[in-house]
Amino acid sequence: MNLTDSQLILAPMEGVLDHLMRELLTSLNPFDLCITEFIRVVDSLLPERVFHRLSPELMQGGQTSSGVPIRIQLLGQDSNWLAENAVRAIELGSNGIDLNFGCPAKTVNKNKGGAILLKSPETIYHIVNNVKNSLERSQIVSVKIRLGFENTTLFNEIVDAVVQANANLLTIHARTKSQGYRPPAYWDLIGQLPYHNKIDIVANGEIWSLADAKNCVAQAKTTHLMLGRGVLALPNLASVIKHDVAPMNWATLCILFKRYCELEQRGSKSFYFSSRLKQWLRYLKIQYPQAEQLFTVIKTLKDKEDIMSEIDVIH
């Protein structure tokens, strides 16, 4: 199976896939698009600084230094405020708008945003329709959903709502909210949808390798894929999938890891430098046994120089 024509999207991951990580991962991979972490919209038009903080790429033409476009993701339940903030995000340089209907976080769901809306396809329709109508026709509105909240009973209805509301692209994380992040992902349910000729569909969930990508494409019947944890665990995963290159080896990863340390140190969250490195190592441990060793050694360290020299030792 040839995946060279696949569209690959870097997933939104709140607290993990921030602009520094996007910078790094888009420099290594042939991503077509990045979706930002979500901006929560409640009952106001958010100030520009909120958009810029989340996506400094907006100040450099709405793309990463490697030229990969950035799309702002909004999460909320009020279609008017979502539409107003969508207009603002576009004015600031976002390449279209992504709407989040998949977030399982309790606080978000309590306020009727994220995955809870999967219980109400009608509300999803109103939100998508309102956002779409508030923007110029050429602006892409993409939507991210799961298969359902507790079960998949409403799955077709939800997708139908998104299609009827004229969204341009639909990403499906192939699990219900109740299934959380427990494997497997049910890619075959995406494949069974009768909407593949009505909207571009992106499959998402549990793609960790080229073999997973091939399986997913075969079952979901789409070559558009979104990658999240998989690319944090294997930082050149999109290249592996699209160009069949070898997975990055540990020595190269160590050089990359040091580059990330430098980016983090310069970044606005440099205060959290060591905890962010440890966070990434938790994903890297999935693919690299050496990452486990490095994690154990730096677990208690905070100082940049100490951490860097341990990377040299394990390298």
Ligand X SMILES: Cc1cc2nc3c(=O)[nH]c(=O)nc-3n(C[C@H](O)[C@H](O)[C@H](O)COP(=O)(O)O)c2cc1C
- Quote the CA–CA distance of 293 and 285 in Å, as a whole number: 9
Nearer to ligand X, 159 or 207 (CB): 207
Minimum gap (Å) between residue 175 Cβ and ligand X: 8
In sign, the C-alpha dihedral spanning 299, 25, 37, 153 is negative
Tokens at 34, concatenated: 């990045």
3-state secondary structure of 74: strand
Nearer to ligand X, 206 or 264 (CB): 206
State yes or no: is 103 an active-site residue.
Answer: yes
Please say whether the beta carbons of 303 and 270 come within 8 A.
Answer: no
- Quote the CA–CA distance of 175 and 173 in Å, as a whole number: 6
In sign, the C-alpha dihedral spanning 219, 225, 231, 234 is positive
Nearer to ligand X, 237 or 311 (CB): 237
Minimum gap (Å) between residue 159 Cβ and ligand X: 16
Nearer to ligand X, 98 or 311 (CB): 98
List 103, 216, 254, 261, catalytic entry: 103
Other C-beta atoms closer than 10 Å to the C-beta of 187 total 23
**Nearest residue to the partner ligand X, using Cβ:** 228
Nearer to ligand X, 34 or 90 (CB): 34
Binding residues for ligand X, rule: CB under 6 A, are 11-16, 37-38, 73, 100, 102-103, 144, 173, 204-207, 227-230
Please say whether the beta carbons of 123 and 117 come within 8 A.
Answer: yes
Minimum gap (Å) between residue 310 Cβ and ligand X: 25
Minimum gap (Å) between residue 314 Cβ and ligand X: 25
> Concatenated DSSP letters for 156-210?
HHHHHHHHHTT-SEEEEEEEESTTTT-S---HHHHHT-TTTTTSEEEEES---SH
Minimum gap (Å) between residue 229 Cβ and ligand X: 3
Question: Would you name the residues annotated as active-site residues?
Answer: 103
